[in-house]
Structure 1
Amino acid sequence: MDRRNFVGLGVAGAAAAVLANEALAAPGVAGDILEAGVMAQQAGMTAGKLTSQSLVRQYLARIAAVDKAGPRINAIIELNPDALAIAAAMDRERAAGKLRGPLHGIPVLLKDNIATADKMSTTAGSLALDGVRAVRDAHVAAQLRAAGAVILGKTNLSEWANMRSTHSTSGWSGRGGLTKNPYALDRNCSGSSSGSGAAIAASLATLAVGTETDGSIVSPASTCGLVGIKPTLGLVSRSGIIPIAASQDTAGPMTRSVSDAALMLDALVGVDERDPITRQAAGKGGYAKALVAGGLKGKRLGVARDFFGSYDKLDAAIEKALAVLKAQGAILVDVKVPNTSKYGETETEVLLYEFAPGLADYLSEYAPHAAIKNMADVIAFNQQHAGREMAHFAQEHLVAAQAKGNLKSKQYLDALANNRRYAQAEGIDQVMREHQLDALVAPTGGTAWLTDFVNGDHYGGSFSTPAAVAGYPHVTVPAGYVYGLPVGLSFVGGAFSEAALIGMAYAYEQATLHRKAPRFAPSASVKA
């Protein structure tokens, strides 16, 4: 983070210390209003007990105390120097009787691959784009501004959304360094929306936006004890987001509650003529209406048993979750998601084919003034700055993407068709139809692993790929703890089934209320 951005917000030195004392109720624990959700914060503003400016100041103080000092989780890559001014404008609108909606005056963080036409850079964590400002907002950023949200800053991420190396360490970027997991500082947040996950877990803002190609919302949400929603492809615009693959990329909410995620998703949804796929989302939204009691009653849930078995203690936690689902009226059916082995290699093939042309298109439209124009330029930059960019791992994926042919090649088109066939029609659609299911459920993934720059990431299983390759929605919700480390329960459904999934996730959340704020332990305790 550029220190000038921090000083410019008036929270440096003694002022930061004073505000930090106000923001922290106890060592490592956020004050009630910072841990609170959208509706509680709105109630405070409606009652005149809180303003958007005071809320922003308190979050900035907590960032100073937790992210940049104290445990130093390093979730924020850059702060918005205009955040307080935007908050003041929202307060003036409120005083004049103009409210834009539930997010009016609410502080939001964006992952640093989402373009903002302001004083912040958009870099995907790469030093190659350090200082490069986008010429226009990404559609999701524009939607949030229109909803009255205050964009507080950008979050760190796995560089290039974790599509750089076969031996990468999630949560590390050349520009931002390493993000630490607030539940155990020596453990990983998973990726690539690592900073968004850590920041919201640590109550550094009310809401955050993550992006996912495969697992990059739901995995860090699970390992950081959050709710994450990976929407149906096309529900949320992709325009202005530094891409990996248009066939799988999407942005989505990362929050401390299902209700906050639903409210945020309502703000993100919208038709964008720069991204024609969003035309199919016309009329979608109203997800807050799904936040009602009884969302699990009578629902047929397919328990995806082929995604169990990676860790016995994780399975035990999810078995307890299944018992809650059943007690809430759900009907559980053991199933196997078919054909998941038939698109492992072709998924990677499609991502590699789409990466380079997608990046060139983004740079041409959103950063035409940047010295970096394409993938070849990124590769050359990393080679020239290897001491900073390649100290921990290389760039095999970037090199492989650059070597691929164009998007008319038979190899690419065959791989894409294969993915859609086996993930959609002969995958999720098939199992849901055969068993008349409302959703699939499974553990989202394993517990957070020890960060390891020598060997790279150590994933402990994942349920992200079927929904990611199919382009279908996936909601994860906290399901308890293993040795003090959060684990998540996943709900996956067919295309545009977000409302149903949110209703089920909300019912489970309200029946369990598993989430506990992190204490920034140095490491996990086997006694927990």
Structure 2
Amino acid sequence: MQRSQMLRGGASRPVLARATAPASPMAHLLDAGVLPQQQMMQAGKLSSHALTSQYLGRIRSLCSIGARAYPGIEINPDALKIALEMDRERQVHKVRGPLHGIPVVLRDNIATGDRMKTRTQSPLATHAGCDSFVAARLRAAGAVIIGKSNLRQWAAVSVPHATASWAGLTILAVDSAADGSIVAPASNCGLVAIKPTGRTAAGQGGEPATAGPMAPSVREAAWLLAALSGERLADGVVLDTAGLHGRRIGVARSLFGQCAGTDAVIGQALLALREQGAQLIEIPAAPVPGGIEALLCSHGFDALVGPTCHGVAQAPSALPHITVPAGVAGGAPVGLSFIGPAHGDMQLIAMAYAYEQATLHRRTPALPSSITLALRLP
């Protein structure tokens, strides 16, 4: 099995590769995605309680390796109770949507009105007493909040909050853009992430200004975003394989040149965009953060694309931003970023989905052997 690729400063990123066959068929389902999980539950071959139990088993197995090394998940003591309630609703043909009964992990600064603690700007963690808007939306969509991840503790492992989804501890995660932490860590883990326009909703207490989804695919991330916004997603309209056709896209060339391997991966991504009918226009000068929106407007761009990195990850908070797996360079995942005009989220999702479906670069990550052994299910 490949090892993590070392980066500047001694940090590491997970290596993407075909994972070895797990010990249990159930492990395949945990990594398969929301759609297969929903199909199994609809057919009566899987329950939310069983699915949640298996994810919780993975979390506990990983934490048992050593709390000092892997301390990042706080388990929701009510998770199985919530899952049972979602199963009862399904039995009476009440299905709230594509997230019904699906486990989700939140970043620990998103307030929940349960027994889990919330970390705000204060160094102390407290019980919020009530759900934030984000948590309330997820519960209304039928999602099972199984825990919270500690951003700073997970960052000490290799990458931030996205590690929970990368390691298969959950299929979906919600992070905040308060410090640009949605797209960059997701890209490092080979995940899709969406930073929506502005703030998803007015939060409470220490809730971050903008919350966005992380998921293995654009479809799942879009479903999660729809739940956060309280809107229904028209799959056939938004998730369109022809979503790039006729789109005018600016290429942020100033973001290239930092890594030859990354440049090569993104170069292939640009070819794929052209093959899908997009018109690409080179932008030689570096757009300043405040000038990205003006650049999109003045050139009539539907989106700006480039490698997901620190520079592009700090796009203005008012603009939607999606990162999609584009391949691997030096053993580390590379993401392609799409940045669009304010409130152009659905159009951006359509473009990202068309690129994803034309390339299918997402791979199940190969975990270090110590973690792989701990995560084997009975």
2:358 maps to 1:494: no
2:129 maps to 1:135: yes
1:237 — aligned with what?
201
Aligned counterparts of 2:48 and 2:72: Cα–Cα separation in 1 = 20
2:374 — aligned with what?
none
1:124, distance to aligned residue in structure 2 (A): 4.7
Please give the residue correspondences for 1:367-406 in structure 2 after superposition, counting only pairs within 5 Å.
none
1:315 — aligned with what?
263
1:514, distance to aligned residue in structure 2 (A): 1.0
Aligned counterparts of 2:121 and 2:80: Cα–Cα separation in 1 = 25
Aligned counterparts of 2:67 and 2:275: Cα–Cα separation in 1 = 39
2:282 maps to 1:286: no
Report SS of the residue matched to 1:491. Answer: strand
2:32 maps to 1:36: yes
Report SS of the residue matched to 2:227. Answer: helix
The percentage of counterpart residues that share the same residue type is: 48
Aligned counterparts of 1:100 and 1:76: Cα–Cα separation in 2 = 30
2:96 maps to 1:100: yes
Give the structure, 1 or 2, with the largest relative contact order (CA under 8 Å, sep 6 or more).
2
1:450 — aligned with what?
none
CA 488–259 in structure 1, closer or farther in 2 if over 3 Å, else same: same
1:339, distance to aligned residue in structure 2 (A): 5.1
**Corresponding residue to 1:264 among 215, 224, 227:** 224
CA 29–326 in structure 1, closer or farther in 2 if over 3 Å, else same: farther
Aligned counterparts of 1:287 and 1:485: Cα–Cα separation in 2 = 34
1:72, distance to aligned residue in structure 2 (A): 8.7
1:411 — aligned with what?
none
Please give the residue correspondences for 1:188-267 in structure 2 after superposition, counting only pairs within 5 Å.
188-189=158-159, 194-195=160-161, 197-234=162-199, 236-240=200-204, 242=206, 249-267=209-227
1:363 — aligned with what?
none
Counterpart AA for 2:128? A
Report SS of the residue matched to 1:50. Answer: coil
Q: CA RMSD in A?
A: 2.6
2:278 — aligned with what?
330
Aligned counterparts of 2:266 and 2:226: Cα–Cα separation in 1 = 29
Aligned counterparts of 1:124 and 1:483: Cα–Cα separation in 2 = 37
Counterpart AA for 1:324? A
1:357 — aligned with what?
none
1:419 — aligned with what?
none
2:312 — aligned with what?
463
CA 80–146 in structure 1, closer or farther in 2 if over 3 Å, else same: same
Report SS of the residue matched to 2:311. Answer: coil
Q: Please, which moves more after superposition, 33-42 or 113-122?
A: 33-42
1:215, distance to aligned residue in structure 2 (A): 2.3
Aligned counterparts of 2:92 and 2:343: Cα–Cα separation in 1 = 37
**Corresponding residue to 2:358 among 507, 511, 514:** 511
CA 75–492 in structure 1, closer or farther in 2 if over 3 Å, else same: farther
- Contact 1:259–1:506 (8 Å) recurs in 2: yes
- Contact 2:190–2:325 (8 Å) recurs in 1: yes
Structure label with greater radius of gyration:
1
1:484, distance to aligned residue in structure 2 (A): 1.6
- Contact 1:265–1:287 (8 Å) recurs in 2: no
- Contact 1:233–1:472 (8 Å) recurs in 2: yes
Aligned counterparts of 1:310 and 1:250: Cα–Cα separation in 2 = 29
**Corresponding residue to 1:438 among 282, 294, 302:** 302
1:82 — aligned with what?
78
2:348 maps to 1:484: no
**Corresponding residue to 1:301 among 224, 231, 249:** 249
Report SS of the residue matched to 2:363. Answer: coil
CA 314–145 in structure 1, closer or farther in 2 if over 3 Å, else same: same
CA offsets 1:455-494 (integer angstroms, 9 cap, x no match): xxxxxx43122333xx110000011111221110000000
| Structure 1 outlier segments of 4+, above 4 Å | 27-30, 70-73, 336-339
- Contact 1:80–1:151 (8 Å) recurs in 2: yes
- Contact 1:266–1:287 (8 Å) recurs in 2: no
- Listed as ranges, the gaps of 5+ residues in structure 2 are 1-19, 370-378
- Listed as ranges, the gaps of 5+ residues in structure 1 are 1-23, 160-170, 173-177, 181-187, 271-283, 344-422, 446-460, 523-528
2:13 — aligned with what?
none
Aligned counterparts of 2:331 and 2:287: Cα–Cα separation in 1 = 34
